[in-house]
Amino acid sequence: MSMNQIIQQITKSKRVLLATHIHPDGDAIGSLLSMGLALEEIKKKVQLYNESVLPAVYNFLPSIHRIKDDAGDLEIYDTVIILDCSDLQRVGNAAGAISRIPTIINIDHHATNSRFGNYQFIDPKASATTELIYRLITAMEIPVTTAVAYAIYTGIMADTGSFRFSNTTQEAFKICHEMVRHGADPHKVAQHVYETISLKRVKLLNMLFDTIEVSENGKLSIMTLTQNMLHATGTSITDVNGLINYARRIENVKVAALLYERASGRQLRSPNGSAFHVSLRSDGSVNVANIATAFGGGGHRSAAGFDTLGTLPELKNELYSISDHL
């Protein structure tokens, strides 16, 4: 599907809902803000929606308060734009209701995208979804405000791990250069996103370090995060963003897994097990999207995830059996 068809469709729309995945990261939040604020520039009525509590490190982004966890009456929207989601379910509880909005536009950079919706703008070569939004905004000749510049810069910075991951391309730098020219201050973004860490988050990190296990061949590391650890430190899941990277940086480790016990399942040792979200990261030599897809999830080559039910020992055993083939 060409970008022109998407642009034609967006141009025709009047009331647009914009949504992204639960537990949003910098790219998800940056996508919501940049697309939403750009559409407002061309006089569209927009509502920015996300179901989760947003990580506090993004509170500095201009207009962040525009993102609401309640989209109100969904019947008023003619169009919904779903950003940075490999499938519609990633939006969370509202996915069913949102799927009834007449026109669904899917903008994403996951190779595992299910191609849902009436219109798709998907490019797995894009460093971030915000890179795709930059392309749309420029093609539509919408002026880049400072708020939009901050959102796009932050999205690309977050998804490239501060320009260190393998998706760090010339294009990513070129767009970020543009965004800095339009008023985004890289030092300010870095200060907020990376250089400020609450004491309770440090305490949580300490507990997480204690749970690290490495497979016999040294290629897989596992971190475990329980609800009790969040309670004990007074943290929430938004404080966990990025901490898995410590497990990934361990020498010889190719794949790191973070097993997060969801709030719905407290009894880790119950025979029926609990609900887990598993985050996977690789050093780039292993495609973790394939592993996540085999478990019903998805993602990118170096960052992927899935949801599963089971006991902690079962889950670890399954992952250890994969480590033999790494």
Residues that bind ligand 5GP (CB under 6 A): 21, 86-87, 90, 279, 297-300, 303-307
Q: How far is the CB of 303 from ligand 5GP (least distance, A)?
A: 4
Which of Mn ion, ligand 5GP, none sits in contact with 306, Cβ below 5 to 8 A by type? ligand 5GP
> CB of 23 within 8 A of CB of 237?
yes
Query: What does 297 interact with, of ligand 5GP, Mn ion, none (CB < 5 to 8 A by kind)?
Result: ligand 5GP
Q: Is 239 in the site for Mn ion (CB under 5 A)?
A: no
Smallest distance from the beta carbon of 254 to Mn ion, in angstroms?
Answer: 22
Name the residue number minimizing CB distance to ligand 5GP.
305
d(CA 133, CA 121): 10
Coil, helix or strand at residue 153: helix
List Cβ neighbours of 15 (8 Å cut-off, separation of 6 or more).
44, 45, 46, 47, 76, 77, 78, 79
Task: Please identify, using beta-carbon distances, which residue of 63 and 99 lies nearer to ligand 5GP.
Answer: 99
159 forms part of the interface with Mn ion (CB under 5 A): yes
DSSP letter at 54 equals: P
The residues near 324 (Cβ < 8 Å, ≥ 6 apart) are 215, 217
279: partner contacted, choices ligand 5GP, Mn ion, none (Cβ within 5-8 A by kind):
ligand 5GP
| Shortest Å, Cβ 172 to ligand 5GP | 16
Spatial CA neighbour of 50 closest among 112, 16, 93? 93
299 interacts with, out of Mn ion, ligand 5GP, none, CB within 5 to 8 A per kind:
ligand 5GP
Dmax (CA) for the chain in angstroms is 59
- CB closer to ligand 5GP, 219 vs 301: 301
Whether 113 and 106 have beta carbons less than 8 Å apart is answered as: yes
Closest by CA to 244, choosing from 309, 307, 304, is: 304
Shortest separation between residue 111's beta carbon and Mn ion, angstroms: 12
**155 binds, options Mn ion, ligand 5GP, none, Cβ within 5 to 8 A by partner type:** none
Q: How far is the CB of 145 from ligand 5GP (least distance, A)?
A: 27
Nearer to Mn ion, 255 or 304 (CB): 304
Q: Kind and range of the H or E element at 229? A: helix 227-233
